[in-house]
Amino acid sequence: MSSHSQCPEAGARSRMLTLPLLLLALAPAIGPVPLRGQDALPPPDSGWTPLFNGRDLSGWTPKIRGYALGEDPLGTFRVEEGLLTVGYEGYDTFQERFGHLFHETPYSAYRLLVEYRFVGEQVPGGPGWALRNSGVMFHSQDPATMGLSQDFPVSLEAQFLGGNGVDPRPTLNLCTPGTHVEMAGELVEQHCVTADSPTFHGEAWVTVELIVRGGDRIVHLVQGDTVLTYGHPVVGGGVVDGVPPDVKVDGTLLTGGFIALQSESHPVQFRRVWIRELDPGPSGGAVNEAFRLLDRTAPSHSR
C-alpha cells in the first residue's frame, strides 16, 4: 500500500515464522474450502457467510480520500456481471485518491476467504508501487472516524500483488498502516513483511485466506498454503496520513475491527468474500474501544 510495499528483505524473516507448533494449534481451524464455481454462494450448512452477495454492494460503504464517507462520485466500486469491481474509468488521473470499501460489521475472530484477480491497466497517475497492487484491510478503525484527507485506515493489510510478467512479486504480504505486530516474540516496526508465497502473473483468480484470532495470532494462506504468521497487533508507527490524533492511540492492542477492500489505482475484481466466525479465545474480544464510533459530523452508516 506504500512505496515500501514489497519489502523483499523481509522474506527471510517471514519464512522463519511458519512454526510447526503454530500450525498444529491451528489445524482444526484450517479446512478445505469448497470451490463451487464463479457464481456460487457458501453452502447454507458450511458455517461460511458471504459478505459480498454477488448482486450489489449492500452492507458496504466507500471511503475515498478527499470525499466524505459514502461518496464515490467516480464510480470506483460497483458490481459488474456478479463481480465486485474496482475500476477507474471515471478518473482522468489518480491524484492519490486512495479508497477503501468497508463492510458494515466489525469482527474479531474469524476466517476470511477472498478470491481476487487483477485486470486491465493501471490508471494514469497511479504510483509505480501500486501496479497490480490491492489488498484487504482488517482490524481497521471505524471508517466514520477517518479524516477527510486520510489515505489509509489505521489497520492491518493483507496485501495482494499481481505479477508483472517478469519479476517475483509474492502476494498476501503484511503491511501495517499505523500499526505494529510481533513475530517470533519480537516487535516488528517495518511497514511491510514479504510472505513466502508464489507470484501470480496474468488475470487468473487467486484464492487467499486469513485466520484471525482477535489480538492473539494471525495466519495468511495462499491457495491453501500457509505463507505468513504473526500476532499481537498494536496501534503504532506511521505510514498513514490525515488520521485524527484522538483516534490513533499508540500501544493499543487490536482485538478486532472493520474489514475493507482497497482501491489503489489498478483495476481489480473480487468473486468471493466469505467469512466464518470463530471462538475468539482468551485474548479475543469485540471491536477495540479505541476504534468505536466517535461523536463526529461524518455521515451515519448502519452496522
* pLDDT tens across the length of the chain (303 residues): 544 444 443 443 444 444 434 443 443 444 444 444 445 578 887 899 999 999 999 999 999 999 999 999 999 999 999 999 999 999 999 999 999 999 999 999 999 999 999 999 999 999 999 999 999 999 999 999 999 999 999 999 999 999 999 999 999 999 999 999 999 999 999 999 999 999 999 999 999 999 999 999 999 999 999 999 999 999 998 889 999 989 999 999 999 999 999 999 999 999 999 999 998 765 444 444 333 333 332 222 222
Q: Are 267 and 88 in contact (CB under 8 A)?
A: yes
Residue-range definition of the domain harbouring residue 173: 8-25+44-291
Domain tally for the chain? 1
Residues linked to residue 103 through DSSP beta bridges, in sequence order: 60
In a domain, 161, yes or no: yes
User: Residues 136-195: pLDDT tens digits?
Assistant: 999 999 999 999 999 999 999 999 999 999 999 999 999 999 999 999 999 999 999 999
- Identify the CATH number of the domain in which residue 246 sits: 2.60.120.560
Provide the b/e sequence for 145-177 (b: ≥16 CB within 10 Å). Answer: bbbeebbbbbbbbbbbbbbeeeeebbbbbbbbb
Q: What is the longest distance spanned by two Cα atoms in the chain?
A: 51
Report in angstroms the alpha-carbon separations of 123 from 120, 168, 241: 9, 22, 22
In a domain, 32, yes or no: no
The whole-angstrom distance between residue 73's C-alpha and the CA centroid of its chain comes to: 23
In a domain, 297, yes or no: no
In a domain, 3, yes or no: no
In a domain, 37, yes or no: no
Residues linked to residue 100 through DSSP beta bridges, in sequence order: 63, 262
Question: Measured between alpha carbons, how far is 290 from 52 in angstroms, rounded to an integer?
Answer: 27
In a domain, 84, yes or no: yes
In a domain, 225, yes or no: yes
Determine the pLDDT at residue 202.
Answer: 94
The whole-angstrom distance between residue 35's C-alpha and the CA centroid of its chain comes to: 21
Q: What DSSP string runs through 232-276?
A: EEEE---S--S--TTT--TT-B---BEEEEEESSS-EEEEEEEEE
In a domain, 14, yes or no: yes
